[in-house]
Structure 1
Amino acid sequence: MRKECHPLLRGGRGDNKYKHGFSTAEMESLTSICEVVLPPLPMDALKIRKEDHDDDDSSNKSLQSFLDISASRYPIPHEVAEMITKRSLIETVILIRVVLWLLATRLGTLLLCGFLCLGENWPYINKFSNISLEKREKIMQKWLKHRFLTPIRLTFACIKVLCLFVFFSWVDENGDNPAWKAIGYEVPADEKMTNTSNTRPLEKGIIETMNESDSTLQQSLANKGLNVTLDSKSNILKVKCDALVVGSGCGGGVAAAVLSSAGHKVVVLEKGNYFTPQDYSSLEGPSMNQLYETGGILASVDSRVLVLAGSTVGGGSAVNWSACIKTPHKVLKEWSESHKLPFFSSQEYLSAMENVCERIGVTENCSQEGFQNQVLRKGCQNLGLKVDYVPRNSSGNHYCSCGYGCPKGEKQGTQDTWLADAVERDAVIITGCKAERFLLESNRSGNGRKKKCLGVTAKTLNSRITMKLQIEAKVTISAGGALLTPPLLISSGLKNKNIGKNLHLHPVLMTWGYFPESNDSEFKGKVYEGGIITSVHKVPSPDSNSDSRAIIETPLLGPASFAALCPWESGQDFKERMLNYPRTSHLITIIRDMACGQVTTEGRISYKLNEVDKENMKAGLKQALRILIAAGAVEVGTHRSDGQRLKCDGIGENEVQEFLDSVCPMEGALSPGEKWNIYSSAHQMGSCRMGVSEKEGAVDENGETWEAEGLFVCDASVLPSAVGVNPMITVQSTAYCISNRIVDYLRRD
């Protein structure tokens, strides 16, 4: 851990008490399941090869400690319970607590566990916590494969995911975890910042509500040049500005910069906090908790998809994996012709992409690739497949995993670029402040829109501030992203049927290959070192209208994310997997999804792939496995629930093909069937899509909502469909064009 970092990113609970509300009986059952997920093992239990692990006393002690330790150890079960109540949907919480309650009784255990709970002594039926560890493991293995009572299976799967995430991300007050040394993981030490200045680039315009109170907030706002009045009767602080932007990510940051450069007084609302490079700790758990929506644990309603979305100043651009790929030509053609939006094939849009790339410092070269990208590149080369370098918004020498913020200060997110430009032109950014509802009134202008937007009501997330904010503006821009903009529009009274629909997620499944470390290995480094995405392979498509069936890239997987997503077959197998963590290379298969989901209520995402998506995903998974085998992996596999894998030593093409023929994307844990998958998503778009009419979209070609004058959307939700590549450049370029059109709107107003 960095010696100096922000207190919120440091870890440790301090004096905070647990508030999960689980009963003693429920905690007893939960603790027993946690012990099954990660049990204590004898030293001779693992199939450890000496050449794979150091033989010094220190390493042996850390290995022995890892084998001895269990996830049942305090405070892990309480942390899991806390995460269940804070991160899960209410129906999931109820389901888990009912199952835990049943397992705390003899009759309930008999119903759920069958004869395995029977003992030799009175009363003969044991509750779950009194069953031997060996039998409890068999019970969990049975439930994770159960074909029909899938809600019970989902309970065990959720606890498994959360237990492993908590265990491998938990840190004490010194930023240490008892398992990290044994599994070969080290948190990056203090990085020397490229920019040696310790200043906060947004200090001039930032108001951090976590440092404010009722007695100070009004004056702080006034000091930033805002017109502020207090309605004491209603306890509402009223603020006036020219343009209000809700959200500070790829869309909101660009909008703030463009509007402020045109001379408008801009206010940006951001519910996350502001961090600078010297604040980042690179600790997976605390960083995910502070920098990602729902702490990085956001699942679809059926738990099929785990969704990653940034929630900090800079939004996704502060934590994304730096890929800067321009909108593919065929996608622009489709949007322009099929969706009848010529804007996307215009010189205006093409110029916007160039302006965006220039402002965020996109470079094409990479002087040194990390372990996973070395594997991807070598495997493609050995197969004669094309592999491209991925442009990034950092220097070509950038060798840093920035998914928890860039401690070197080299990655050019919106907080370092567009928002810095906006603040230089007197924009104000209010952090820890969540928009609740847009202010709408009847519109008498006769332009066809029934309502007119006057601004927004918002609340701070600081309990010391009891007053609400009412921010009035000439134009209001929703830039909260594809997951948050639709619920905000709907809760404000907008009725357009496209709002919240057409949600695309770029669903992801992973494959992995194990490459033991040796002196003669051509792949240097470890899985958590180096740039996250520097190479990409496009799986060819037979369809002339598409660039590819899928793209194959490399992910950032800290030990907790690695553990949470890996299949669990047994406690012993899982500890063996974790000991291989540093040299297990993952490849992600991303598809341009044709199916779409919806998000009309905050936190409730519905999504399912169609048959075309499944076929494209299958093609990508097979190609990724071939790449790993060609690169020299000794073992490869998928994340299918049964632990699907293949040992590669001495096998021929027939065995490889037989294995690949068995690879297929499965449904989620809640769907019938013995095998299942957990999908991931880091790209969400399309949920307020642009359309030529209110029947076709939620906003027009200028980004203005069809129902409310002066209310614009400027984020990934306006994209007509999935992009098929990492969408940062597409989102910022679209936002750049919409923002300039808003400037024209204000000029006419």
Structure 2
Amino acid sequence: MTSPKEIPLPEPDDFLSESQWAVFMALMDTVAPAILPPKSISSSATAGNENDMSVLRLSEKEYSEAAGKIRAAVAPHEVTAEMIEEYLKERPSENPVFEKVMKVVLSGLPPAKKRDLKILLSVLSTRPGSLILTSYGTPLPQLALEDRTKVLEGWRESRLWAIRGLFKSMTALGKLGFLRSSNSFAPLTGFPSVPKEWVATSSHPFEFIKPATEIETDVVIIGSGCGSGVVTNRLANTFGKGVKVLVLEKGRHFDASYFPMSQTVGLSAMFEAGGVVESDDGSVTVTAGSCFGGGGTVNWSASLQPQDFVRKDWVETYKMPFFEGKEFQECLDHVWEKMGVTDKITPNHGNQVLLNGGRQNGCKMCKIVPQNTRGQPHNCGYCSLGCANGEKMGPVNGWFPEAAEKGAVEFVEGFQAEKVLFDEKKKGKKVACGVAGVWTSRKGGETVKVVIKAKKVVVSAGTLWSPVVLMNSGLKNPQIGKNLYLHPVNFVAGAFDEDVRPWEGGSLTTVVGDFEDLDGKGHGAKLEAMSMMPSFALPFLTWRSGSDYKLMAAKYRHINQFISIVRDRDTGYIYRDPHTGHPRVSYTPSDFDRAHNFVGVLELCKILYATGAREIHPCLPGFQPFVRSNADSKKTDKAFKKWLRKLKKHDNKPPVAPFSSAHQMGTCRMSAKAKDGVVDPRGRVWDTEGLYVADASVFPTASGVNPMVTTMALADWIARGICEDIKGELVDGKIPARL
């Protein structure tokens, strides 16, 4: 096998009419337009319709200049004139893969947002309606490309939040769809579909059962992410085959032979809603794993323990002293050792830039980020689309295989858990007795309603879904779904003269922590590198026009991108969509938190300048990048300082400024008193018996670091308590059935 196995894109919900779709594709053609040469220098049989106003037709001089810029952008990778022409003339509306990708992404929108999109596109398809949103009074598909670009710019500058949000949403969709579907981008930039040392491998041979309409087990665990993996492992190692455990996952398992997945299908197959979950007001895009292994399958391997000031806060403010105690540290150490966490890392170009630049600018907390890779170096920047070599010790490669070998553990994929079931009350508490849900087969879409009877129920469905399961179960605690933390992120990109090849090496292996405590209470920004998979990084680059974006994206092999990631003080909440029952995100980065983001943005720009970046691009629409000239250093320093002063005045206000989140925490908060949270200090849901939550949703606040290790340590702490509870109930080595 010379490449990973492939899966098809899912069939989308095609909810737009023909006229609405025409308007949508006209917008997409504006974001990533066809850029055509004069016929006199075209290498193809035709160079497009001379009268087509939806393409950008360049003069011979302009086209030669654009081609020259691309040659410089992809050097030392060699390209032909035909490759450049193919890239420039590629057009979303003529690419069936783009159409399919976009329909899949739009299928994941909540019904209310689908309705709003249909209304918007219908308005833009008529002359009177278009006048409302464009000032042209002409249906948008009939406008010339130049005028469509002016329409988008007008949206960006609108006084109305919703209209400014349209600019960000539409340009982000166009950029994302272009990068996921392009036939020309990879050949042009030299981006390989797999790491250079890729070989075909297989992961643990998990067996997934087809559930009957009724199943009995001892412990049922909803979800298969980092919390679930640790709980399952602890149960199996404690009781062996004496306690039956059933793990339920709503997503699918993919063997390592499918990894890394392609840019086209990976987000749809492995992430919640295809990787595009927007907050209600469009200010934040949330990325969450939705496959077997959850976030542990798609994260970037970063393994950081919570800082002392966070643990102290959880002790002093939230009155849970065990967070500073020996036992919780033992849980952290257990997780650390089990995964073979190592700092034997050789940073790639981007991560080394962060280290070097931070130190040059006087930062004292420039560190290697340990990785959960069995003590081995891990040079795979593709891990956000699945770890092909199985080195990343998340649930799938470490915790579950050992549990399956030692205990009576079974797995179900494609199972949407709807609610926890309860039987009689005991001492005023509702007693969990199982789970109800719907199983969908992988092939054919067969569905079966299933009831699982169990003595213990562990909800480990993640910060988005765990509160929804509890809400569906009839629990009335008003704290369920509240206290949502997201670690919001802003972005800065740097283009270098040297050949960076950003896909090589580990994704996130260094950090600058000097700005993590800006308020003296543990709130501030960390500076980190990010995954440089094209569909992860390049959609956040600022869009100024379609031609500008295409030329900027072509610089990919010379680009490093970085994040200013904030431990947020202020929260949002999760609630159920009234039509689908799926989680909806209500969250807007507060002025307090985004001010910390902006400190990080400024410091990243200084780091890029110190390390010689040719171009510095804060990903903030409406602001021009800094481009280093060949003038003497004094003049260049003066120009950079002047540019930086302008940047300080620009700000990062949503909804136009892109904010993203890959860390969701807190919606089933752990608390010392029932009125303050959802679970007690051992993860038991308040006012219930036999029901636990074990995932990042139990965090009292944001962790301030990549939450995997904290999630696993808390899950181990909770699992130890579950094991003690079970031991107290055993009769002849078994949990007795409830009467």
**Structure 1-normalised TM-score?**
0.87
Mapped to 1, the partners of 2:238 and 2:114 lie a distance apart of 49
| Distance (whole Å) between structure 2 residues aligned to residue 542 and residue 296 of structure 1 | 30
Q: Distance in 1 between matches of 2:122 and 2:98?
A: 15
Matched, 1:593 2:568: yes
Distance 1:199 1:633, change over 3 A: closer
The answer as to whether partners of 1:569 and 1:643 remain within 8 angstroms in 2 is: no
C-alpha distance in 2 between matches for 1:139 and 1:70:
19
Q: Percent identity?
A: 29
Residue 483 of structure 1 aligns to a residue in which SS? helix
Corresponding residue for 1:343? 322
The 3-state SS of whatever aligns with 1:284 is: coil
Paired residue for 2:473, among 487, 492, 512? 492
> Is 2:26 the counterpart of 1:32?
yes
In structure 1, which of residues 401, 406, 416 is the aligned counterpart of residue 397 of structure 2? 416
Does the alignment pair 1:460 with 2:439? yes
CA shift in 2, pair 1:465/1:27, >3 Å: closer
State the AA in 1 paired with 2:2. K
Give the letter aligned to residue 741 of structure 1. G
Cα shift readout 1:364-390 (whole Å, capped 9, x = no counterpart): 221x32221122122123223231011
Does the aligned pair in 2 maintain the 1:634–1:647 contact within 8 Å? yes
Distance 1:26 1:180 in 2: 31
Partner of 1:481: 462
| CA distance in structure 2 between the partners assigned to 1:55 and 1:243 by the alignment | 57
Cα offsets for 1:488-517 (capped at 9, x unmatched)? 101111111211000100110011111023
Within the alignment, does 1:565 sit opposite 2:540 as a pair?
yes
Task: Spell out, residue by residue over 1:644-690, the C-alpha distance to the aligned partner (whole angstroms, 9 max, x if none).
Answer: 42123344444433433433653323xxxxxx212011111111111
Matched, 1:380 2:325: no
Does structure 2 retain, via aligned residues, the 8 Å contact 1:300–1:606? yes
The answer as to 2:84 corresponding to 1:72 is no
Q: Do the aligned partners of 1:592 and 1:722 also contact (CA within 8 Å) in 2? A: yes
Q: Shift of the alpha carbon at 1:338? A: 1.4
Equivalent residue, structure 1, for 2:4: 5
With 676-685 and 379-388 compared, the bigger mean Cα shift is at: 379-388
Whichever residue aligns with residue 207 of structure 1, its letter is F
CA distance in 2, matches of 1:6, 1:409: 16
- The match for 1:515 is 496
8 A Cα contact 1:76 1:167, kept in partner: no
- CA distance in structure 1 between the partners assigned to 2:21 and 2:518 by the alignment: 54
SS of equivalent residue, structure 1 residue 415 = helix
Q: Is residue 502 of structure 1 aligned with residue 450 of structure 2?
A: no
Cα separation, 2, equivalents of 1:558 and 1:453: 43
1:221-264 Cα shifts (integer Å, max 9, x gaps): xxxxxxxxxxxxxxxx1111111111111101101111122222
1:266 to 214, 222, 245: 245
Deviations 1:451-509 (A, max 9, x none): 11101012112355343111111110000111110011011111112110001001100
Rounded Cα–Cα distance in structure 2 between residues aligned with 1:746 and 1:136: 64
What is the RMSD of the two structures over their aligned residues, measured on CA atoms? Answer: 2.3
1:92 aligns with 2:124: no
Question: Which one-letter code corresponds to 1:242 in the other structure?
Answer: D
Q: What is aligned with 2:216?
A: 240
The alpha carbon displacement at 1:356 in A equals 0.5
Q: Quote the offset at 1:55 in angstroms.
A: 9.0
Distance in 2, Cα, partners of 1:56 & 1:279: 28
Aligned to 2:52: none
Q: For residues 105-124 of structure 1, what are the structure 2 equivalents within 5 Å? A: 105-114=126-135, 116-117=136-137
Post-superposition offset of 1:418 = 1.1
CA distance in 2, matches of 1:422, 1:247: 15
2:227 aligns to what? Answer: 251
Q: Which residue of the partner structure matches residue 147 of structure 2? A: 135
Classify the secondary structure of the residue corresponding to 1:388: strand
Structure 1: where are the runs of 5+ without partners? 118-125, 172-176, 210-216, 219-236, 518-523, 670-675
Q: Which deviates further from its counterpart, 62-71 or 636-645?
A: 636-645
**What is the SS of the residue equivalent to 1:312?**
coil
Aligned mates of 2:144, 2:187 — CA distance in 1: 30
Partner of 2:652: 666
| 1:72 partner SS | helix
Deviations 1:161-213 (A, max 9, x none): 22221221127xxxxx23222234221257445xx8x554242xx2165xxxx
Q: For 1:497 and 1:654, how far apart are their aligned partners in 2?
A: 55
Secondary structure of the residue aligned to 1:551 is: strand
Q: Is the 8 A contact 2:524 2:568 kept in 1?
A: no
Determine whether 1:207 maps to 2:228: no
- Report the 3-state secondary structure (helix = DSSP H, G, I; strand = E; otherwise coil) of the residue aligned with 2:474: coil
Counterpart amino acid of residue 88 in structure 1: L
Question: What is the CA–CA distance in structure 1 between the aligned matches of 2:417 and 2:481, rounded to whole Å?
Answer: 17
Residue number in structure 2 paired with 1:212: none
1:170 corresponds in structure 2 to 181
Q: Show the 5 A alignment for 1:172-187.
A: 177-187=183-193
Give yes or no for contact 2:572–2:585 (8 Å, CA) kept in 1: yes
Offset of residue 332 of structure 1: 0.9
Q: Which residue of structure 1 aligns with residue 501 of structure 2? A: 526
Give the equivalent residue in structure 1 for 2:166.
155
Q: Any idea what SS the aligned residue of 1:67 has?
A: helix
Is the contact between residue 370 and residue 526 of structure 1 (CA under 8 Å) also seen in structure 2? no
> Which letter does structure 1 place at the counterpart of 2:613?
A
Distance 1:391 1:57, change over 3 A: closer
What is the CA distance between 1:565 and its match in structure 2?
1.8
**Distance in 1 separating the partners of 2:355 and 2:389:** 26
Aligned pairs, number: 682
Q: After the TM superposition, which of the residue ranges 466-475 and 702-711 deviates more from structure 2?
A: 466-475
- Give the 3 Å change call, closer, same or farther, for CA 39–200 of structure 1 in structure 2: closer
Question: Could you tell me whether the CA contact under 8 Å between 1:84 and 1:93 is conserved in 2?
Answer: no
AA partner of residue 110 (structure 1)? L
CA apart distance, 1:66: 0.8
Q: How many Å apart are 1:540 and its aligned residue?
A: 3.5
Cα distance in 2 for residues equivalent to 1:435 and 1:349: 30
Aligned twin of 1:225? none
1:609-629 CA-partner distances (Å, limit 9, x unpaired): 333312221211111111111
Given that 1:83 and 1:162 are in contact with CA atoms closer than 8 Å, whether structure 2 keeps it comes out as: no
Distance 1:678 1:423, change over 3 A: same
CA distance, structure 2, for counterparts of residue 246 and residue 618 of structure 1: 38
1:232 alignment counterpart: none
Report the equivalent of 1:23. 17
Residues 60-98 of structure 1 show CA distances to partners (whole Å, capped at 9, x for unaligned) of: 221111111222213256336513541222222222222
Deviation at 1:133, TM superposition (A): 1.8
Deviation, 1:325, is 0.6
- In 1, the alpha carbon distance for the partners of 2:572 and 2:493 equals 28
Q: Which amino acid aligns with 2:290?
A: S
Aligned 8 A contact 1:566 1:639 in 2: yes
Corresponding residue for 1:550? 525
Shift of 1:308: 1.1
- 2:294 & 2:696 partners in 1: Cα distance? 12
Instruction: Output aligned runs, 1:239-318, within 5 Å.
Output: 239-263=215-239, 264-318=243-297
The residue that corresponds to 2:732 in the other structure is: none
The one-letter amino acid paired with 2:352 is: Q
Report the counterpart of residue 370 of structure 1 in structure 2.
Answer: 348
Q: Would the aligned equivalents of 1:246 and 1:479 in 2 still touch at CA under 8 Å?
A: yes
Map of 1:226 onto structure 2:
none
Matching residue of 2:414: 432
- For 1:637 and 1:482, locate their aligned partners in 2 and report how far apart those are by CA, in whole Å: 32
Q: Could you tell me whether the CA contact under 8 Å between 2:669 and 2:678 is conserved in 1?
A: yes
Normalised TM-score (structure 2): 0.88
1: CA distance, partners of 2:478 / 2:546: 48
Residue 734 (1) aligns with residue 728 (2): no
Cα 1:337–1:112 shift into 2, 3 Å: closer
Please give the alpha-carbon distance, in whole angstroms, between the structure 1 residues aligned to 2:98 and 2:15. 13
CA deviations 1:298-334 (Å, max 9, x no partner) are 1111111111111111111111010111111111111
